[in-house]
Amino acid sequence: MAEDFRTILVGVDDSQDALAAFRYAIHRARVDEASLIITTILESGEMNVYEALTKDYVHGEREELETHLKEYVALAEKAGIKSVRAVIGEGDAGETIVKTIIPAVSPDLLVIGAAAKTGIAKHFGSQAAYMAKYAPCSVLVVRD
């Protein structure tokens, strides 16, 4: 018999594979009557030095993420998930989720998306591979 999960953590961004992971996480949370935690990461590596040093820029980026996460929370609640909350982290996505978010929220399952990489990109690994290897809980990787 398959294990029922009590707390599901799903990582989201604007990618299609993350949306697919989010849809699966909602389905699984509904089936298991689990609480759902939705996380996204403000990645400072994507900012240039000027942006990183400008408090208004970082604040604006964070506000944008918070607004986006509220939309995800509303969708999950509309889908019938009773316990939903959102968490924003900062830093490298895979490392922040594994070393900061997971210890803070103690999920039974991490659901993440992974874009299928082709050519030379598939040899360099990915955030999903890092999380699947190092997360201290079950990890489900969803491909769109």
Domains of the chain and CATH, by start: 7-142 (3.40.50.620)
Higher pLDDT, 123 or 119: 119
**How far is residue 66's CA from residue 131's CA, in Å, rounded to a whole number?**
23
Q: How many CB atoms lie within 10 A of CB 14?
A: 8
pLDDT at res. 123: 42
The per-type count for the chain, helices as H runs and strands as E runs, is: 6, 5
Do 8 and 109 touch, CB atoms closer than 8 A?
A: yes
In 3-state terms, what secondary structure has residue 48?
coil
Task: Answer yes or no: is pLDDT of 21 > 80.
Answer: yes
Q: What is the pLDDT of residues 29-75, one digit of tens each?
A: 999 999 999 999 987 655 544 444 555 555 567 788 889 999 999 99
For residue 128, pLDDT beyond 60: yes
Secondary structure of residue 130 in the 3-state scheme:
helix
Please say if the pLDDT value at position 120 is more than 80. no
User: Chain-centre distance of CA 75, in angstroms?
Assistant: 15
| Whether residue 139 has pLDDT greater than 80 | yes
Amino acid at 4: D
pTM of the model: 0.85
CA–CA dist 141, 144 (Å, integer) = 10
Alpha carbon distance 66, 46 (integer Å): 18
| Pairing verdict, β 35-42 and 138-142 | unpaired
State the pLDDT at residue 102.
98
| d(C-alpha 65, C-alpha 43), whole Å | 11
| pLDDT range class, residue 14, cuts 50, 70, 90 | confident
